[in-house]
Structure 1
Amino acid sequence: MKSPRTVAIAGLAALAMVGSLAACSAGASSDSGKTELRVATFPPGADEAAYTAFAEQEKQFEKEHEDIDIIGVEYEWEGPTFAVQLAGGSLPDVFTVPFTDSKTLLENGQLMDVTDEMDELGYTDKFNPIILDAVTDGDRIYGFPRQAYAMGLHYNRTLFEEAGLDPDNPPTTWDEVREAAKTISEKTGKAGFMEMTQNNTGGWQLTAASVARGGSIQEDNGDGTYTSTIANDGTKSALEFLHDLRWEDNSLGSNMLLDWGTINQEFAAGNIGMYSSGSDVYTALVRDFSLNPDDYGLTVVPVENGGGTLGGGDIAVVSPTVDDETKAAAVTWIDWYYMQKLLNEDAAVLDAKTLSESDQAVGTPVLPVLDRETYEQSLTWIEPYINVPRDQMTPFIEGVWDQTPVGEPKSKTQEIYALLDTVVQAVLTDQNADIDALLAKADVDAQALLDQ
């Protein structure tokens, strides 16, 4: 067993290392005769307690599977650098990818077929079929959906109180979000609301905001082709909302180049009143960014005009370059580390107990990758170990089931998100930006991508 801190993946691996790293991906046996398995752990910067918990889980796994030697690898998915890591062979044997990348990776033959292994484990039919579709090509399955989320509105309860707002009654409409953001900014000097804008996250959030307002940025024609529909009323309304917060209310802060990591850092530091992101981000906020749990609140994203809540998640996958021995070890690890805690009471309790003893988050709200009944049953199993402030997340926990889940666009997703980054940035840096013209051009450019 090797500490996950001993093996770190950089965003761009040195070219001289590519050959050796690729060789690792092909699978290897240690001098002891065990199969060495390189598995993704946490993003760089995760707190020591997270690694303590992981080390304990390594011990538990290796005690049950004495022929496998787990090697933890620091790992963080980022759209612009992921393709380089994948092409260079510098990814672990087991890693995770967002739903949005799975179809492209399938088309490129960059995921390992695990259909037979999943069938043998016996829970293929328990997956939410909409979620399983993200890793299915024909009748073959290429990964294990391990967690899903719905978009949520995250807010700082302390800033709400300082601004004279009730943290137990967060905004329920976009107009109320705007009003609260302005009040927070005026009363506290902090950003009332902030928006991601770069590394594909600006496009991701603009898509979510459009969906919440009844829009859709892409239409599936049902024949393998897609039509870009970016220039719709929902997307325009979302951009007008950001424009007004930035240029009329001055409530959007001063940093217009934020992504998932940097906006989490700012929020955890108490510099943001509200922002939109996946409902599961609380775990990372505490683990990686030292959030004070007392500050945290979560509610549903407001929806209007027949809109829904954008959902997503990620999938545990096996590198396509590994040999059969390593593949078998990889599936064993995925089943033990990711899946059994969703299906088996003893595994769920062991996982929750191990995490809670290292002060890691247990009970963060997610969307179930399996059926809702199984998910809610698993919460009863781990109830004694739940340590997240779910009472501060009540508006989301109770409200999300009343919203319509909407999947992310299926084709050229990350490329289109990157394209939309520039649209969001233009609106936030140019007071006179022509939103209609920006959307019209984005539609043309996105269609060109879809037609490739």
Structure 2
Amino acid sequence: MRSTRQAIALTLAGALAVSTLAACSSSGSGDDDGDGGSTDGGKVTLKVVSLLPGSEQEAIDAFNAQVEEFETANPDIDIEPEEYEWKATTFAAQLAGNTLPDVFEIPFTDAKTLVENGQLADLDAQFRELPYADKFNPAIIEAGTGPDGHVYAIPAKNVYGVGLHYNRDLFEAAGLDPDDPPTTWDEVREDAKTISDANEGVAGYMQMSQNNTGGWQLTVNTFARGGRTQEVADDGSATSTLSNEGTKDALEWLQAMRWEDNSLGSNFLLDWGTINQAFAAGQVAMYTSGSDVYTALVQTNAIDPEMYGLAALPLEGDDAGVLTGGTLAAMPADVDDAKKEAAMKWIDFFYLGKLVDEDRAVADAETLVANDQPVGTPVLPMFSQEQYEQNQEWIADQINVPLDQMTSYTDTMFDLPLVGEPSQKTQEIYALLDPVVQAVLTDENADIDALLEDADAQAQALLDQG
């Protein structure tokens, strides 16, 4: 039997499937007086997440245009954008050091622990004022809800299922059909070797391996082979199952590609940001990541749309599934009500209103298109399939992403067997798995069984802490 926390992760996946089928250092809690105050001459100053560091000027221009539109409509709020990239290895220190923006972003996996630790502001009263508050997929709202039933973190964007991203140009250069991407892991391996052999210095496939992304993507590969990395009982006790056959198969697959095929290139220390950069630069032909990553590739890596392809994640074995996750908007615990109210207006404007209101959807899309930014990147519905499809109709004239190069994913996205991320000690266990992935990629004699046995014991010790 599963605990409530495990059920949340799995309910997210199940409910999504059901509904779809039916940063500069600054104070994150106010002004220099340090008391959470938020006004300056009657104005609320709100520091918000803007874009990833190093974003293209067109993306910055689009964001600034959105800020200007918001401030015109809300003259009592002054928005101060801050570049931001969530990383598991730095976030805790940023939060403890009070160096985050007033409105920051976190993954679904982190909210419960942060709420339990008293580190997030209670946004329930402000959230309930949204006209569409009761329309969210309940499992998505649950991700940011505390044990008191209050909402502390708001679903903001990027509810994704993991997909296989591939470089169409590299496929074509290797004599492969870019309109026929691989559908099994054996085909991924075969195509990776073909591409590496035909394109000197190119990784036919590559796996993230640091800053917790190695563990994240190894979990993706585990789920896709029918394995699971932990089991949680009704009483909340958790058992680590890292030595399952799905995880072993995934690591053995990587080991063979690295040491038999030589198809993984030469850089074995990539994370989310650096693998995006390598992919956009034509150094990596295939990798797995969230379905929404195309937007970041445009905003930060100036990817050529003609070379991009998105395919469904290969699934093999009983109980195989696609890992799903998403992003929540949250605030530090000590912000005052004035900032909370300003933040909810910004969250409504920037993240959510465009999903449920036609005028807001069209205005947002027109602003993005005017600044050469992507509109229409595939994500999973935050409300329902019906609402998602309605939104796509509203912005049909503005959609500019190469959807015809993503059909392997989009044709199946509403039928994906979704699986939520492991519910307990998620990031800590991902961190334990980074060196396992790195060892397989850098040591020809890496003992996978021994590596997993050691990681399993460490993970269980973490889980036993509660």
TM-score, normalization by structure 2: 0.91
Are 1:44 and 1:75, in contact at CA under 8 Å, matched by a contact in 2? Answer: yes
Alpha-carbon distance in 2 for matches of 1:372, 1:19: 37
Q: Does 1:261 align with 2:270?
A: no
Cα offset, 1:226, TM superposition? 1.5
- Structure 1 residue 39 corresponds to structure 2 residue 52: no
Match of 1:402 among 381, 401, 415: 415
Q: 2:128 aligns with which of 119, 130, 136?
A: 119
Check whether the contact 2:28–2:332 (CA below 8 A) recurs between aligned residues. Answer: no
Q: 2:14 matched to which residue of 1? A: none
Please tell me whether residue 372 in structure 1 is matched to residue 382 in structure 2.
no
Distance 1:145 1:25, change over 3 A: farther
How far apart in 1 are the matches of 2:100 and 2:417? 35
Match of 2:153 in 1: 143
Residue 24 of structure 1, CA deviation? 6.6
What residue number does 2:166 align with? 155
Q: Which amino acid aligns with 1:53?
A: A
Question: What is the match of residue 79 of structure 1?
Answer: 88
Give the direction of change, closer, same or farther, for the CA distance of 1:178–1:352 in structure 2 (3 Å limit).
Answer: same
Return the alpha-carbon distance in structure 1 between the equivalents of residues 407 and 277 of structure 2: 24
What's 2:221 paired with? 209
Contact 2:436–2:451 under 8 Å retained in 1: yes
- Choose the corresponding residue for 1:240, options 252, 258, 266: 252
Go from structure 1 to structure 2 and tell me whether the alpha carbon gap of 1:408 and 1:25 turns closer, same or farther (over 3 Å shift). farther
1:416–1:25 distance in 2 versus 1, CA, 3 Å? farther
Where 1:137 maps in the other structure, the secondary structure is coil
The residue number in structure 2 matching 1:428 is 441
Kindly provide the CA deviation profile for residues 399-423 of structure 1, in whole angstroms up to 9, marking residues without a partner as x.
Answer: 2222201001111111100000011
Structure 1: distance between partners of 2:234 and 2:290: 28
- Is 1:9 paired with 2:24? yes
Greater length-normalized contact order (CA 8 Å, ≥ 6 residues apart): 2
Q: 1:19 to 1:39 in 2, by over 3 A?
A: closer
Instruction: Note the C-alpha offset of 1:132.
Output: 1.7
The answer to whether the Cα contact below 8 Å between 1:215 and 1:234 also exists between their aligned partners in 2 is yes
Q: Superposition pairs for residues 47-446 of structure 1, below 5 Å?
A: 47-138=56-147, 139-147=149-157, 148-189=159-200, 190-306=202-318, 307-446=320-459
AA aligned to 2:82 is: V
Aligned residues of 1:226 and 1:450 also touching (Cα < 8 A): yes
Deviation at 1:177, TM superposition (A): 0.3
The residue type equivalent to 1:210 in the other structure is T
Give the distance between the partners of 1:333 and 1:167, measured in 2 at CA.
40
- Aligned pair in 2 of structure 1 residues 89, 334: CA closer, same or farther (>3 Å)? same
- Report SS of the residue matched to 1:311: strand
Q: Which residue of 2 aligns with 1:3?
A: none
From 24, 28, 36, the equivalent of 1:26 is: 36
Q: Percent identity?
A: 58
How far apart in 2 are the matches of 1:143 and 1:27?
21
Amino acid of the structure 2 residue aligned with 1:366: V
Matched-pair contact (CA < 8 Å) for 2:29–2:334: no
RMSD over equivalenced CA pairs, Å: 1.6
Q: Secondary structure at the match of 2:100?
A: coil
Q: Find the residue that maps to 1:76 and give its secondary structure.
A: coil
State the SS of the aligned residue for 1:219: strand
For 1:107, give the aligned amino acid: E
In 2, the alpha carbon distance for the partners of 1:130 and 1:441 equals: 34
Residue type of the partner of 1:246?
R
8 Å contact 1:25–1:93 — kept in the other structure? no
- Aligned-partner Cα distance in 2 for 1:361–1:152: 18
SS at match of 1:243: helix
Distance across 2 between alignment mates of 1:238 and 1:103: 29
Q: CA deviation at 1:22?
A: 7.4
Cα separation, 2, equivalents of 1:20 and 1:395 = 46
Contact kept, 8 Å, 1:22 with 1:90, in 2: the verdict is: no
Q: 1:263-308: per-residue Cα shift (whole Å, max 9, x none)?
A: 0000000111100011100001011011111110000110011301
- Check whether the contact 1:191–1:253 (CA below 8 A) recurs between aligned residues: yes
Q: 1:96 aligns to what SS in structure 2?
A: strand
Distance 2:354 2:264 in 1: 40
Q: Aligned-pair distance for 1:228?
A: 0.8
- My pick for the range that moved more, 237-246 or 46-55, is 46-55
CA contact (8 A) 1:200 1:414 kept: yes
Q: Deviations over 1:5-24 (max 9, x none)?
A: xxx425xx8xxx89998757
Q: Which runs of 5+ in 2 are unaligned?
A: 1-22
With over 3 angstroms needed to count, the CA separation of the structure-2 counterparts of 1:19 and 1:29, relative to structure 1, is closer
Helix, strand or coil for the counterpart of 1:385? coil
Alpha-carbon distance change, 169 to 323 in structure 1, aligned in 2, over 3 angstroms:
same
Give the aligned length. 439
CA contact (8 A) 1:21 1:89 kept: no
The answer on whether the counterparts of 1:40 and 1:72 sit within 8 Å (CA) in structure 2 is: yes
Q: 1 CA distance for matches of 2:30 and 2:363?
A: 36
- The SS at the match of 2:47 is strand
1:241-263 superposed Cα distances (whole Å, 9 cap, x missing partner) = 10011000000000110101110
The amino acid that maps onto 1:179 is E
**d(CA) in 2 for partners of 1:243 and 1:401?**
33
User: What's the CA shift for 1:42?
Assistant: 0.8
Distance 1:23 1:355 in 2: 37
